[in-house]
Amino acid sequence: MKNRILIGISVLFLGLVGCTNKDTFVISGQINQAGNIKVVSLYEGDRKLDSVYLNESNKFKFERPASQGRLVSLRVGTNKYDLIVQPGEQIDFNTNLQDSPEKYKVEGSDLSKAIQKFAVVRNRRDFLKDSLQADFSKKTANASAIEIDALRYAYLQKFSKELKDYTQKAVKFSEEHADLAGFYAISTLDPEIAEAEIIAYADKIKDQFQENGYVQQFKLETAKLKQLAIGQPAPQFDSFTVNNKKVSLVDYKGKYTLVDFWASWCAPCREENPNIVRLYHAYKAKGFDVLGVSLDNNPGPWMRAIEDDKLAWTQVSDLQAWGSPIVGLYRLKAIPTSYLLDPNGLILAKNLRGAELENFLKKTLK
């Protein structure tokens, strides 16, 4: 046992000795007027890499291994500061917590300085998102289902406009920075809003950043996103009705079809069902149909929900819930999720609910 411990220590020591400055990055700095803030944390995405205490002079230091450029952030209280670190870089960071989060200084990293201006835009987007969410929660605390739906539509419309503006700024920034700073800007986009822009950027850099694992992962995820993008053929599947009748998605060619993923236990799904029922009856004579795909695993609640909600269209399920192959095929992460298909089976739109779905059908099925 003693020999094993000694060998382990020797290997660890050799690993440390062999680690040169080129194999690491260093971030050191000072947080002025920190008040009660005593800790600085280092994140990569949502994963915390490290935390350190401020010393008596409110200074801190991180030293981490790096074999490639990495997108990281410093978290100080509620403030977040994005950085791009490269192997061998020694970055000096300074801020005053009494100033706005945009007013910080960073030296020793050209890419970190490059994204500082864009980080301001990102912070404003995040602030607006949080503010709208808080206001929405407050106004819908005692609201009816109809009032909540109307408010949700109004808030989505407002935030959608802001997100589209943000998307344009991110794309413009990426065009001005053919490096990891440009990649950083695109990586902050919401796929539901900026699907086309993300796919276009991934195609643009398909032969670039080959050694960077983070960029390669982005390309892989975008390739999966592209399979379910607007304009792509909807993945085909078969499933079974409550009477064990086989139904294929291909059977719906020739109609505008809403493929609605839901479950009896999903409250938002059940809240949306009356709206789909109303639109189904209003537009079915004009070539609109619905295929309900349930993620239930118990036939009893599923069948009762169909009856209680008066769902007149075809309902299918393999009763495997999240273990269903269809979940992987459509990369479902939450429900309700829906895809609106054209008569050729191509994806026209995603996740249209409430007034959004009604307005889309009015324009499409004149």
Look at the pTM and tell me if it is higher than 0.85: no
CA dist 366 → 6, 38, 240, 341, 363 (Å)? 79, 62, 32, 16, 6
pLDDT of residue 264: 96
- CATH fold for the domain made of 238-364: Glutaredoxin (3.40.30)
Domain ranges of the chain: 18-108, 119-227, 238-364
Multiple choice CATH, 18-108, 2.60.40.10, 1.10.260.40, 3.40.50.450, 3.40.50.300: 2.60.40.10
- pLDDT at position 127 is 83
The confidence score (pLDDT) of residue 146 equals 66
Q: Give the residue from 330, 324, 307 showing the smallest Cα distance to 234.
A: 330
Predicted confidence at residue 145, as pLDDT, reads 66
Eight-class DSSP state of 289: E
For the chain, the distance separating the N- and C-terminal CA atoms, rounded to the nearest angstrom, is: 80
The alpha carbon of residue 259 and the mean position of all alpha carbons in its chain are separated, in whole angstroms, by 22
pLDDT of the residue at 156? 73
Give me the tens of pLDDT residue by residue for the chain, a chain 366 residues long: 334 333 333 333 233 333 446 789 999 999 999 999 999 999 998 899 999 999 999 999 999 998 889 999 999 998 999 999 999 999 999 999 998 888 899 999 999 999 998 988 888 888 888 888 888 888 888 877 667 767 776 777 777 788 889 999 999 999 999 999 999 999 999 888 899 999 999 999 999 998 888 899 999 999 999 999 999 999 999 999 999 999 999 999 999 999 999 999 998 899 999 999 999 999 999 999 999 999 999 999 999 999 999 999 999 999 999 999 999 999 998 999 999 999 999 999 999 988 889 999 999 987
Neighbours of 151 (CB within 10 A): 15
Radius of gyration of the chain (CA): 26
Give the whole-angstrom CA distance, residue 177 versus residue 51: 31
pLDDT at residue 19 in the model: 41
Q: Confirm if 52 and 40 have CB atoms less than 8 A apart.
A: yes
Q: Which residue(s) pair with 346 in the sheet?
A: 233
